[in-house]
């Protein structure tokens, strides 16, 4: 008896067409394009007539100021509309509309993501988030007792927990490197990782962007350090893809996992796993695939019944981001980051940045600290009193607050945040 997935793939290209998206879905993006024209990214970064049109592509509750887009970002309205449309269409007759009509269209999503990441579509698996992608890497590699895995103390807790489970069950050795905060330099970062490597080291897990500090790790340098030693490098790119422009070849990596509901503006519950073609056969899936799928990237998508609507709307989000352009996008995100950061830093010598800022430095994520202030209490005060959503980063290693605006964030929102932080510094938060 053939599996449902085999049935789905046998029907690629067949069947009824689902309703098409309404014609005015990209109106705001087109209008923004007319305003921005062919201007360089740097000249558009502070052009409010351009970004006002982009902001209108989102239906948001403006009574709240969301500066935690690093956790999860809203999708543009037309992305959400397609997902809802497809959910309704699926619900009419799921075994036909969802499995036969919509599910095969995942191949278009695979093609579009592969183009932007710079890989072969046959190396691109569609997942539900970075955790699913990264845990596929963590649990999929054959390791034995005594084999060592190197990561930092600041790697994402869910990934650390996954490694700890392997440590408990199989006796692998997890080596956690404590980095200086902020990181002094690329050379310093690489040196600290290199010091942890021994002949037993089999894997290095590196965050492309630190979720705690916004530091962009030198992935290429880590890969070049590891490959001659036969060490696999797993890249946790949860905060990086569609945040700033890069490709697979610039990183040189064999494995990459990311979420798409952060910076790509795709629906919640979307991500991808990249595995270089010659590595697919040796990396086990989280849920069993057939032996015939050993070398097929689709084995990582064997998760049982799931909505096709979520992952198919990824292609609409990709089109939206391509319309803005990756260079324009990161220029705007850095402009917003610098706008609030410079105001806060200028107001008090108690304020300092944990994230390095400036031209071509870091991205939208900015983490700051205020000497003598509990940043967790500051976050609660900003939320309760001023309806500003932030992310306090109170850890064993530093006391800070993560701020992540997005393309829909207005200057008024950024300035309100900076003003309230300055007020807290000068008057307290009692």
Q: How confident is the model at residue 35 (pLDDT cuts 50, 70, 90)?
A: low
**387: which DSSP letter?**
-
Q: Are 175 and 147 a contacting pair, CB within 8 Å?
A: no
- In this predicted model, what pLDDT tens digit does every residue of 46-99 receive, in sequence order? 999 999 999 999 999 999 999 999 999 999 999 999 999 999 999 999 999 999
Confidence check: pLDDT of 198 > 80? yes
What pLDDT sits at residue 217? 97
Angle at 127 between CA 121 and CA 128, to 5 degrees: 150
Question: Does 7 have pLDDT greater than 70?
Answer: no
CB 213 within 8 A of CB 352: no
The CATH number of 327-427 is 3.90.1150.10
Alpha-helix runs per DSSP H in 171-288: 186-196, 219-226, 248-251
| Beta strand extents in 57-98 (DSSP E only) | 65-66
* pLDDT for residue 2: 41
pLDDT one-digit tens code per residue, 58-67: 999 999 999 9
- For residue 147, CA distances in Å to 25, 200, 215 come to 52, 5, 28
Q: Rounded mean pLDDT of the chain?
A: 92
Token pair listed for 366: 């900015």
| Domain spans of the chain, in order of start | 101-320, 327-427
Q: What is the pLDDT of residue 381?
A: 98
Q: How far apart are CA 430 and CA 415, in angstroms?
A: 22
Residues in CB range of 217: below 8 A, 6 or more apart: 189, 206, 207, 208, 209, 210
What is the token pair recorded at 228? 């001659």
Question: What whole-number distance in Å separates Cα of residue 304 and Cα of residue 4?
Answer: 9
pTM for the structure as a whole: 0.90
- What is the per-residue pLDDT across 332-359, written as a single tens digit (0 to 9) for each? 999 999 999 999 999 999 999 999 998 8
Yes or no: say if 101 and 19 are a contact pair by the CB < 8 Å rule.
no
Residues 154 and 164: their CA atoms lie apart, in Å, by 14
Closest by CA to 240, choosing from 264, 270, 212, 209, is: 209
List pLDDT tens digits, range 286-321: 999 899 999 999 999 999 999 999 999 999 999 999
Q: Look up tokens 């103390």; give the residue.
A: 153
- Distance (Å, whole) CA 240 – CA 152: 18
Locate 350 and state its tokens: 């108690």
SS3 assignment for the chain: CCCHHHHHHHCCCCCCCCCCCCCCCCHHHHHHHHHHCCCCHHHHCCCHHHHHHHHCCCCCCCCCEECECCCCCCCCHHHHHHHHHHHHHHHHCHHHHHHHHHHHHHHHHHHHHHHHHCCCHHHEEEECCHHHHHHHHHHHCCCCCCCEEEEECCCCHHHHHHHHHHHHHHCCEEEEECCCCCCCCHHHHHHHHHHHCCCCEEEEEEECECCCCCCECCHHHHHHHHHHHCCEEEEECCCCCCCCCCCHHHHCCCEEEEECCCCCCCCCCCEEEEECHHHHHHCCCCCCCCHHHCCCHHHHHCCCCCCHHHHHCHHHHHHHHHHHCHHHHHHHHHHHHHHHHHHHHHHCCCEEECCCCCCCCCCCCEEEEECCCCHHHHHHHHHHHHCEECEEEECCCCEEEEEECCCCCCHHHHHHHHHHHHHHHHHCCC
Confidence of residue 28 (pLDDT cuts 50, 70, 90): low
- Cα separation values, 374 from 322, 355, 365, 382, Å: 40, 18, 20, 12
101-320 CATH, one of 3.90.1150.10, 3.40.1350.10, 3.40.640.10, 3.40.50.720:
3.40.640.10
What DSSP line would sit under 106-139, residue for residue?
Answer: HHHHHHHHHHHHTS-GGGEEEESSHHHHHHHHHH
Q: Give the model confidence (pLDDT) of 169-189 as tens digits.
A: 999 999 999 999 999 999 999
């Amino acid at each position: 008896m053939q599996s449902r997935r085999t049935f789905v793939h046998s029907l690629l290209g067949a069947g009824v067409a689902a309703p098409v998206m309404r014609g005015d879905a990209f109106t705001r993006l087109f209008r923004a394009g007319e305003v921005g024209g062919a201007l360089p990214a740097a000249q558009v970064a502070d052009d409010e007539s351009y970004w006002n049109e982009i902001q209108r592509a989102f239906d948001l509750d403006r009574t709240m100021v969301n500066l935690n887009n690093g956790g999860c970002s809203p999708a543009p309205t037309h992305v959400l509309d397609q997902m809802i449309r497809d959910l309704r269409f699926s619900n009419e007759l799921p075994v036909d509309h969802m499995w036969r009509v919509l599910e095969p269209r995942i191949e278009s999503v695979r093609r579009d993501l592969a183009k932007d990441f710079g890989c072969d579509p046959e190396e691109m698996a569609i997942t539900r988030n970075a955790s699913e992608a990264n845990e596929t890497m963590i649990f999929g590699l054959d390791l034995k007792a005594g084999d060592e895995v190197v990561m930092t103390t600041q790697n994402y807790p869910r990934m650390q927990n996954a490694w700890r489970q392997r440590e408990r069950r199989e006796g692998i050795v997890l080596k956690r490197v404590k980095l200086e905060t902020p990181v002094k330099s690329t050379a310093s970062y690489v040196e600290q990782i290199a010091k942890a490597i021994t002949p037993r080291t089999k894997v290095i897990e590196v965050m492309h962007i630190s979720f705690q500090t916004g530091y962009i790790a030198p992935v290429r340098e880590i890969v070049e350090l590891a490959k001659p030693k036969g060490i696999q490098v797993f890249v946790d790119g949860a905060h990086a893809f569609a945040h700033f422009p890069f490709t697979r070849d610039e990183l040189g990596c064999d494995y990459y996992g990311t979420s798409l509901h952060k910076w790509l503006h795709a629906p919640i519950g979307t991500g991808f796993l990249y595995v270089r073609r010659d590595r697919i056969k040796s990396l086990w899936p989280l849920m069993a695939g057939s032996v015939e799928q050993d070398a097929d990237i689709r084995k990582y998508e064997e998760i049982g019944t799931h909505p096709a609507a979520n992952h198919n709307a990824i292609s609409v989000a990709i089109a939206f981001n391509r319309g803005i352009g990756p260079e324009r996008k990161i220029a705007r995100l850095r402009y917003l980051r610098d706008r609030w950061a410079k105001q806060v830093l200028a107001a008090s010598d108690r304020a300092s940045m944990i994230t390095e800022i400036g031209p071509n430095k870091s991205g939208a994520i900015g983490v700051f600290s205020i000497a003598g202030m509990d940043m967790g209490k500051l976050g609660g005060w900003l939320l309760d009193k001023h309806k500003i959503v932030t992310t306090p980063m109170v850890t064993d290693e530093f006391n800070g607050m993560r701020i992540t605006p997005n393309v829909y964030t207005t200057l008024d929102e950024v300035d309100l945040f900076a003003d309230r932080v300055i007020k807290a510094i000068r008057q307290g938060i009692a």
